[in-house]
Amino acid sequence: MHIAAGWMLLIGTASPPLGAVGPNEMRENPVSYCGDMAGLLCGTKRKKQVSDLHEEGKNAINAPMLPSGTDIHPEDTLLEENAERLMLDPTSRENLKFKDLLKVLIDWINSELEEERIIVKDLEEDCYDGQVLQKLFEKLSGRKLNVAEVTQSEIGQKQKLQTVLEAVNDLLRPHGWTIEWSVDSIHSKNLVAIVYLLVALAMHFQAPIRLPEHVSVQVVVVKKREGILQTALVTKELTSTTEMMMGRFERDAFDTLLDHAPDKLNVVKTSLITFVNKHLNKLNLEVTELESQFADGVYLILLMGLLEDYFVPLYNFFLTPESFEQKVHNVAFAFELMQDGGLKKPKARPEDVVNLNLKSTLRVLYNLFTNYKNTE
């Protein structure tokens, strides 16, 4: 009777459809009416189950098994025929080398755009609308682009991106770059496309940074073929070896030295050791191994204080660093002191010096030698 009473309320507020049982008939034969209603409810439920099963089957066909933890958003499936979309696999997003690459690129952009008072914190959220990319390209190339300064609408943002990317592509294509980005991929916050673009710009303009080597990520590629979505997991190489990446640049003296005249390396190391000890001896300190004794950053900081004739407060750095992070902090702080002294930002990365990369340490010390060799 509870079901019948519920339907009585419904029928009382609306005219029964053609062929439906009326209130009088329901009162005269309630058992028959309840049976009819139960059949109607079961039939509706069965139809919904069949519809859900059909939809589930269609989704299973259209979206084959994806890597665990991968989410495909609705907008990722709205593809034209033969179109494809790339999405970063969640496990790659947590890769330490990939995170390191993101940090290097963010620090580089912020350094380049410091005068514009632009601070980038997240590449996906800060680069998709074209504003940061426009300012970065203009700073690196010295070329002013004819675009609106502020664009709020999606159409305006894509128009700006189109202009910026056309200028970038015209610059890079003649040098053999493969274009791994597009207006749609950048505007849809595709992190892999954004990183490809920034790495290409950093390498082309010989940015004073050291990109982490052998950074690869896995991406989910979604394609539409004959109306059916197909997915695949693909590995994308974002950076290679430093030597190969620097091969696009003009190689410096240390590349040539280590590759073609290793016998002269000891002569260079001896000269640099003599230079640093000339100053560190004032604090009763002495260096015998360049790559290891500068790896924690302490001697670099003290050396800068001696060369510039000031005392570095001990609270600014770790005098006895224990962790990798503390050592990186020290080396990065020493680099800041060098820039404060008028030197260019070292091309070496603090992490490379901490990791005992001889070439990086030699570059840093040779830069000091050329600028302070006559300092007493």
Q: Which of 57, 1, 55, 48 is nearest to 27 (CA)?
A: 1
pTM of the full structure: 0.52
Q: Within this chain, do residues 330 and 220 fall inside the same structural domain, yes or no?
A: no
pLDDT 10s digits, 82-117: 667 778 888 888 889 999 999 999 999 998 998 888
Q: Within this chain, do residues 199 and 255 fall inside the same structural domain, yes or no?
A: no
The pLDDT confidence band at residue 232, using thresholds 50, 70 and 90, is: confident
Last residue of a domain, one of 189, 223, 246: 246
Higher pLDDT, 352 or 280: 280
Q: Within this chain, do residues 128 and 210 fall inside the same structural domain, yes or no?
A: yes
Higher pLDDT, 296 or 244: 296
Specify if 235 maps to a domain. yes
Instruction: Compute CA distances 60 → 16, 49, 55, 57, 234, whole Å.
Output: 40, 16, 9, 5, 21
Q: Within this chain, do residues 149 and 201 fall inside the same structural domain, yes or no?
A: yes
User: How many angstroms separate the CA atoms of 88 and 221, rounded?
Assistant: 9
Give residue 265's domain range.
250-373
Provide the CA 298 distance to its chain's centre, in angstroms.
Answer: 31
pLDDT 10s digits, 161-219: 999 999 999 988 877 778 889 999 999 999 999 999 999 998 888 787 878 888 999 98
Q: Within this chain, do residues 260 and 320 fall inside the same structural domain, yes or no?
A: yes
* 41 pLDDT above the threshold of 50: no
Q: Within this chain, do residues 349 and 268 fall inside the same structural domain, yes or no?
A: yes
Phi, psi torsion values for 223, nearest 5 degrees: -125, 150
Q: Within this chain, do residues 263 and 168 fall inside the same structural domain, yes or no?
A: no
Mean pLDDT of the chain: 77
Number of domains in the chain: 2
Instruction: Compute CA distances 206 → 108, 113, 211, 250, whole Å.
Output: 12, 16, 11, 9
Quick one: pLDDT at residue 61? Answer: 36
Q: Within this chain, do residues 340 and 367 fall inside the same structural domain, yes or no?
A: yes
